[in-house]
Amino acid sequence: MSKRVLEHSLGPQEVVVLTKEEARALLRKLRVRPWQIPWIRSSDPLVKAVGAKPGDVIKIVRRSETAGESVIYRLVVPG
C-alpha cells in the first residue's frame, strides 16, 4: 500500500508528522491533553505511509466542498 494511499484522489492533500515542539505548542493552543484529540491507530495505512509512531501527532489537510480546506489533528495510538 505504502505511499499510494497519499496519491489517491479522495485521500488527503497533505499529511505531516508534527515535531514534539510543534505538538506541544498545538496542545497548549487548544488547551487539551494529548489523549483528548481524536486517535488514529498505528496500523492505519495512512500512518504507515508517513512513518508515524505511537505518541506522534499528525496533521491531515483535506479538501472540503464547504470549507475549502479542512485541517485535522490525530494522536497515533498503538494498534
| Domain boundaries along the sequence of the chain | 4-77
Just give the CATH number of 4-77. 3.90.940.20
For 72, the 3-state DSSP assignment is: strand
* Predicted local distance difference test score (pLDDT) of residue 66: 85
pTM equals 0.82
Q: 7-65, pLDDT tens digit by residue?
A: 655 567 788 999 999 999 999 999 999 999 999 999 999 999 899 999 999 999 988 78
> 1 pLDDT band (50/70/90 cuts)?
very low
Element (H, E) at 21: helix 20-30
Measure the CA–CA gap between 43 and 11, rounded to whole angstroms. Answer: 17
17: left (phi over 0), alpha (psi -120 to 50) or beta: beta
In this prediction, residue 53 carries a pLDDT of 96
Tally: H helices and E strands in the chain: 3, 4
Using the structure block, give the residue that is written with the C-alpha cell 515542539. Answer: 21
